[in-house]
Amino acid sequence: MTKSNRINLLTAIMITAFACSWTTIPSRVIADTEKAKENFNLGIKAKEADKIEDAILAYKVAIVEDPEFVDSYLNLGAIYFEKKDYEKALEMFKTATEKDKTNATAFANLGRVEYILLKYVEAETAFKSAISLDSANTDYYKELAKVYYQKRDYPKMVEAVTKCHKLGGGDYNTYFILAKGYQNQDKTQSAIEAFNKSIELKDSYKARSALGRIYLNQEENLEAAHQFKAALKDDPKGWRAAYNYAIAIQSHNPEDYNTNIKAWEDFIKRAKNIPKAKNQVAEAQRVLEDLKKAKEQAELQ
């Protein structure tokens, strides 16, 4: 956008809004939809050219020209969202839902902002509204499930994710939270299947570690060790997986001193400079000392 065009935009806002704050810009007596669309398109072009402030200005002018042109609120809200100016994004998307109660995108975007702002009750309502308007959109079920996950409403979370999957949506993360939902309802076998599906779609540290902990609790120590070892391939800095691997491998064969000593030494090497692992490192050092003494005694016999 040229300097002269930018001045024209500023002039348009000043003449119409009398230098009022953004939240108090009055509506025009007669909406000029064509001018609103012209400025809306200028906003799109400015955004594509990475001229963010020019885009913001153009969308504001578009709103002044026609306060009922909802797309301007949506695009302006999206810019504020990208800028992490969530309160302004909230204002834009909320206004859009008030202007057009049939706009699923407006309700979904409102839900996304409310989720980030930890307004889970409001986010749930927004995503439900979006789903009522567009029940085939799998992303809406996915995001509603995330809200339920934060609210620890695991039955509803499982229901939302299952619907997402039945409609052909979902990814490794939806299967991960599905597994967590089953796990929190003590449906262990279903949790294992969901974690494995998550790993099938994308091998991840968090899914491998979570699955490993299930096997460790079931005293299936060799399988647990396998999962924790795989987790460490995904994230070599994952000290918690290294800690659990050492526990699992020692529990599987307590008298395999060389393997167990190596596992605990590996954990200590990874975690010794991590403040959060201070207690586990101290414990590992005691276990390591006991293992070395036991090895010496075994070799003397």
Q: What is the pLDDT of residue 145?
A: 97
The rounded distance, in Å, linking the Cα atoms of 110 and 77 is 9
pLDDT exceeds 60 at position 293: yes
Are 221 and 248 spatial neighbours (Cβ–Cβ below 8 Å)? yes
Q: Tell me which DSSP letter residue 258 carries.
A: H
Q: What is the pLDDT of residue 301?
A: 73
Are 26 and 19 spatial neighbours (Cβ–Cβ below 8 Å)? no
**Closest C-alpha to 146, from 169, 176, 167, 191:** 176
The whole-number average pLDDT for the span 210-232 is 98
The rounded distance, in Å, linking the Cα atoms of 36 and 46 is 15
What confidence category does residue 164 fall into, taking pLDDT thresholds of 50, 70 and 90?
very high
The rounded distance, in Å, linking the Cα atoms of 165 and 159 is 10
Give the burial class of 183: count Cβ atoms within 10 A of its Cβ; 0-12 exposed, 13-18 middle, 19 or more buried: buried
The whole-number average pLDDT for the span 139-165 is 97
The whole-number average pLDDT for the span 96-107 is 98
Per DSSP, helices labelled H in the chain are: 3-17, 33-48, 52-65, 70-82, 86-99, 104-116, 120-133, 138-151, 154-166, 172-183, 188-201, 205-217, 221-234, 239-252, 257-271, 278-300
Residue range 36-74, pLDDT digits in tens = 999 999 999 999 999 999 999 999 999 999 999 999 999
* Domains in the chain with CATH codes: 228-301 (1.25.40)
The rounded distance, in Å, linking the Cα atoms of 241 and 213 is 9
The whole-number average pLDDT for the span 236-262 is 96
The rounded distance, in Å, linking the Cα atoms of 62 and 58 is 6
Q: What is the pLDDT of residue 19?
A: 30
The rounded distance, in Å, linking the Cα atoms of 204 and 188 is 20
pTM greater than 0.85: no
**Closest C-alpha to 238, from 261, 257, 213, 259:** 213
Residue range 91-101, pLDDT digits in tens = 999 999 999 99
